Amino acid sequence: MSTTTLPGSLRPLNYEKKKSYTLNIEGANTHLDFRFSHLGPFKDVTMLKIIVGDVDEAPVFTLPSYIMDVHENARIGTIVGTVTAQDPDSANNLVRYFIDHNIEEDRYFTIDANTGTIKTAKVFDREETPWYNITVTASEIESPSLLSHVPVGIKILDVNDNPPELAEDYDVVVCENAKPNQVIQTISATDKDDFANGQRFYFSLDDSFPSNPNFTLKDNEDNTASILTRRRKFSRTTQDTYYLPIVISDGGIPSLSSSATLVIRVCACERDGRVRTCHAEAFLSSAGLSTGALIAILLCVIILLAIVVLFITLRRSKKEPLIISEEDVRENVVTYDDEGGGEEDTEAFDITALRNPSAAEELRYRRDVRPEVKPAVKHPTSSSLDSINVHEFIKQRLAEADLDPSVPPYDSLQTYAYEGQRSEAGSISSLDSATTHSDQDYNYLGDWGPEFKKLAELYGEIESERTT
């Protein structure tokens, strides 16, 4: 049993183009047994009819891509072009259009969802961006998931909206030994606008200024112009710079123009026309100094001035002593090593502060400073001193010092040392002896034993001398 193959290459089926196909199929036995050949041919023929079913397909654009154009500076909402797509199915559903917003340039255009008309969404400048590429998507209203895409290229057409300008900043130089009608510079222009038949520029002198007696301009009619001298010889000492205002126009519709001013410097040149010096360099060269030599001299002067300033600063800093002397009045510190005049010197301080509290008779004031008003302080009597303790005594002394108007304006330090209760032998302090007004009897020292024998002899002799 064998089957026949379809002629030609396999192609996808399209319901809209052909809805059915009819095939004739023949089957034959390739292995014949001649013993049964008399039974007839061993093959058969049949007809097969194939019906193609309709499937919902995405819309199809009329063109695989679109090229459109719009003039620069066109108003927002200007129509750029229209794209069309149809539903290939027999139902012929309506198609909706939108721009694929994943592309950055899409924000410059809008599209009508029903008609596919593309409009501008901003004012364009061809000199900034001459081309825009967007992608338009179409989908059926009944089946929005079926999408088809088409690229659209939009060209921005040029409008003559930029005046011509000089091609560069020319440095025009005229030699002092120039001759009349000598070409000193050739200039050209440029324009941002695009001219289909090529650019055409026109050069002329500015008519708003009086006629220039020194230089003139010649249009070469090839988008260039020449600057020529009108007189012989120029002098840097008389005038080293000249200004030549010119006008440049283009051949667009409407024609635009701009003005520019050429700066012409007067320089010293060699015989062959090479520039030797210009402006201040000429005076330096006549004096035998170059630019490098002048810079070196200026650097040396700056270094010398820096050294002088540093030296003066160091000398001024040496006048300030690093160690301040003890006599410097800026410090409130007074040092002294005076030990005083001993216990007989009672003029500088109150000696009663060092006496035994039991021997204190009354409050004594400083002899060098006598207060006009006595302080209202109640002093303890001799009977109360026997029973007073050391803490109360210090408190009383503190109160007296606080209320005493005779004390100096600065703080003073008073130190008290408590030796304890008095002994039976009494006080042996020489300070205590100053409070007595009569001579004492030292005969009792002999009763103290051999340890005080020498002391008894000394005081006994003095006593005996007094009695004699």
Residue 315 lies in a domain: no
Would you say residue 104 has pLDDT above 60? no
Are residues 66 and 51 located together in one domain of the fold? no
pLDDT at position 248, please?
Answer: 93
Q: Which of 93-102, 290-299, 341-350 has the lowest mean pLDDT?
A: 341-350
Are residues 209 and 189 located together in one domain of the fold? yes
Residue 281 lies in a domain: yes
Are residues 175 and 274 located together in one domain of the fold? yes
Phi, psi angle pair for 277, to nearest 5°: -145, 155
Are residues 39 and 67 located together in one domain of the fold? no
Q: What is the mean predicted confidence (pLDDT) over 105-129? A: 88
DSSP per residue, 357-371:
GGG--S----SS---
Are residues 376 and 270 located together in one domain of the fold? no
Strand, coil or helix: what is 58?
coil
Are residues 220 and 269 located together in one domain of the fold? yes
Would you say residue 80 has pLDDT above 90? yes
Q: How many CB atoms lie within 10 A of CB 223?
A: 21
Q: With DSSP H G I counted as helix, E B as strand and the rest as coil, what are the percentages for the chain, rounded to 5?
A: 20, 25, 50
Domain boundary among 236, 267, 285: 285
Are residues 11 and 96 located together in one domain of the fold? no
Would you say residue 326 has pLDDT above 90? no
Are residues 100 and 201 located together in one domain of the fold? no
Are residues 363 and 387 located together in one domain of the fold? yes
Please write the tens of the pLDDT for every residue from 422-463. 566 555 555 555 445 445 667 777 778 777 878 777 776 544
Number of structural domains found in the chain:
4
User: Residue 268: is it exposed, middle or buried by C-beta count within 10 angstroms (0-12/13-18/19+)?
Assistant: middle
Would you say residue 250 has pLDDT above 80? yes
Domain boundary among 107, 127, 157: 157
Are residues 118 and 182 located together in one domain of the fold? no
Q: What is the mean predicted confidence (pLDDT) over 306-315? A: 89
pLDDT at position 409, please?
Answer: 58
Residue 325 lies in a domain: no
Are residues 174 and 270 located together in one domain of the fold? yes
CATH number, domain of 87, equals 2.60.40.60
Residue 281: which domain range? 165-285
Better pLDDT: 58 or 103: 58
pLDDT at position 4, please?
Answer: 45
Count Cα neighbours of 51 within 13 Å in the Cβ-side half-sphere. 2
Residue 8 lies in a domain: yes
Q: Which of 285, 262, 245, 264 is nearest to 176 (CA)?
A: 264
Please write the tens of the pLDDT for every residue from 165-221. 999 999 999 999 889 999 999 999 998 887 765 678 999 998 888 888 999 999 998
Domain boundary among 136, 157, 178: 157
Residue 335 lies in a domain: no
Residue 279 lies in a domain: yes
Would you say residue 231 has pLDDT above 70? yes
Residue 174 lies in a domain: yes
Are residues 149 and 222 located together in one domain of the fold? no
Residue 448 lies in a domain: no
